[in-house]
Structure 1
Amino acid sequence: MGETRKHIKNRVAFLEQKVPGYASVAGIAALLIIWEIVCRLEWVSPLFLPSPTGIVAAGWELLTQGDLLQNTGASLYRIVLGYLLGASIGIVIGLLLGFSRWAEAMGTPILFSLYPIPKIALLPLIVLWLGIGELPKVTIIALGVFFPVVINTFSGVKNVDPILIKAAVSFGSNHMNVIRKVILPGALPVIFAGLKLAAGTSLLLLVAAEMIAAKQGIGSMILHYGNLMITTKLMVGVVVLSLLGLLFNRSLQWLENKLLPWK
């Protein structure tokens, strides 16, 4: 019996042990070193897989020429504007669907029938409606962000523990206090899950939209250098997209930690 308890205690300690902060950096560094060695030994042609040092050199060249900043700035403008627009509308409508039975009955069939449509397939139609320019690209990103945010917001509101709501009402809380102090805090973790999911979707739609209908932007840059078979500069665009995704994820995580200190 004592042996069993000791074994369980050791397993729990193993599962709860803290991972040092440098572990993530060490993993990335190991991957880059292996990648560089593979390229230096020419196990893979540089045309298909350029080395990390080659990508850094190409990135520095694009940076000094101004092309990288120009394209990154254009993409950042589109994705930030589209993300904020889609997320804001998604949260508002998701809360409305969650709080109102009438809105839920009327809105959810429309919502779940439109959600499966690939948003990039709507780009030609949106260009026809809104013309050529920034508005169609921002709109397609906002559409892609809207659906995961509205669905998660709706689900978060509906899945708040009813016992908590009844307890708040029993202690004399009015309707607005129940919404503000019980339902919204209970739904926020699910809402943030939708916001994080939407961040990845927004990057996918940004690249697709820029490849189809843009002269500037990271997607347009990737397509341009892909057509020229300059893979080092193509990979610079891929790395920038990866860094943007990491930046968005970290920003949302920081905001979640601020708004949900109990989590």
Structure 2
Amino acid sequence: MSEPACAHAREGARPVPYRGGGFAPRPRRWAGAAFLAGLIAFWEMCSRLGWISPLALPAPSEALAALRDLAQSGLLAKHLGASLGRLAQGWTLGVLAGIAAGLAAGLFSLARAGIVPLVAALFPIPKIALLPLFIIWFGIGEESKVATILFGTFFPMTIAVYGGVDNVDRTLIRMGQSFGLSRLSIIRKIVLPGAMPAILSGMRISASIAIILLVAAEMIGAEYGVGAYILLAGNLMATDQLIAGVMILSAMGLTVSWLLGMAERRLLRWRA
């Protein structure tokens, strides 16, 4: 091709867009809130127009009124305080035990030979089915509910930590060994940072499981708690109170997700 033709081709060529972002997510701060607000507004409109029966699904305004009455009566603080106490104890203990077991399985061959088959055998068991056994062991009080949450969060946390440790780049570990780092330094400076995304993902999953088990345990045997409140509302056919209880659970889940998101941004700044 002649020089004038090449110059003409260069002038007519379109620039190639930069595609080196590495699939980095772009923050959309208000997109989720706008979508949720639109969904609630549509729900309210359908209820006011009579398209949705109030007996089957009350309007959001009715659920908010029931939530306001619950707060004014002082029962909201009792139910929410009882649930948050059980959730904090069971989830924290389950996460700590899962991290310890996952690290042991990922770092030591003997521990892996014992822990991995045990987790594979016990993880598929529905944990709420073991609540009667925990009641026999620990009584009808708080211990049985906390044990149920602990047992349910332990296994997904162990699997997440073990998988994260096992997927750390072995080249980085060999490089640390070649520089004479001790085993503890390699774990602290290479293994833990490399496994941190998996650990935080396991915390998210186990937190959702913990809330589910909390509600189920409170429905079986508790005087106070969000699960007990929802069960009582369902028995009384008070659907507005039932939806109010579901809103409380949704707020708990959003709060936990927000807190873990803050932890991820702080602990995973090195990925940016």
TM range (shorter): over 0.9
TM-score by length of 1: 0.94
Q: Give structure 1 stretches of 5+ with no counterpart.
A: none
User: What CA distance in whole angstroms lies between the structure 1 residues aligned with 2:102 and 2:206?
Assistant: 14
User: What CA distance in whole angstroms lies between the structure 1 residues aligned with 2:33 and 2:44?
Assistant: 16
Q: Which of 121, 143, 150 is equivalent to 1:142?
A: 150
Alpha-carbon distance, 1:172 to partner: 2.3
Q: Which of 253, 257, 263 is equivalent to 1:249?
A: 257
Paired residues of 2:105 and 2:116 also in contact (CA < 8 A): yes
Give the equivalent residue in structure 1 for 2:54.
46
Q: How many residue pairs are counted as aligned between the two chains?
A: 261
Over 3 Å counting, the alpha-carbon distance change for 1:80 and 1:5 in structure 2 is: farther
Matched-pair identity in % = 43
Instruction: Report the AA paired with residue 254 of structure 1.
Output: M
Q: Which of 109, 114, 120 is equivalent to 1:101?
A: 109
TM-score by length of 2: 0.91
Alpha-carbon distance, 1:97 to partner: 1.1
Alpha-carbon distance, 1:178 to partner: 0.8
Q: Which of 165, 183, 194 is equivalent to 1:186?
A: 194
Q: Which of 161, 178, 185 is equivalent to 1:177?
A: 185
Q: Give structure 2 stretches of 5+ with no counterpart.
A: 1-8
Question: What are the residue-to-residue correspondences of 1:15-164 with 2, within 5 Å?
Answer: 18-164=26-172
Give the equivalent residue in structure 2 for 1:216.
224
Alpha-carbon distance, 1:72 to partner: 0.7
Alpha-carbon distance, 1:260 to partner: 2.0
Give the equivalent residue in structure 2 for 1:239.
247
Larger Rg: 2
**Is the partner of 2:263 in helix, strand or coil?**
helix
User: What CA distance in whole angstroms lies between the structure 2 residues aligned with 1:156 and 1:17?
Assistant: 22
Q: Residues 92-133 of structure 1, C-alpha deviation per residue, up to 9 Å, x if partnerless?
A: 111111111011112211121011111000000110111110
RMSD: 2.0
Q: Which stretch of structure 1 is more off in the superposition, 189-198 or 21-30?
A: 21-30
Over 3 Å counting, the alpha-carbon distance change for 1:119 and 1:4 in structure 2 is: farther
Over 3 Å counting, the alpha-carbon distance change for 1:17 and 1:156 in structure 2 is: closer
Q: Residues 36-84 of structure 1, C-alpha deviation per residue, up to 9 Å, x if partnerless?
A: 1000001011111111111111110110001111111110000011000
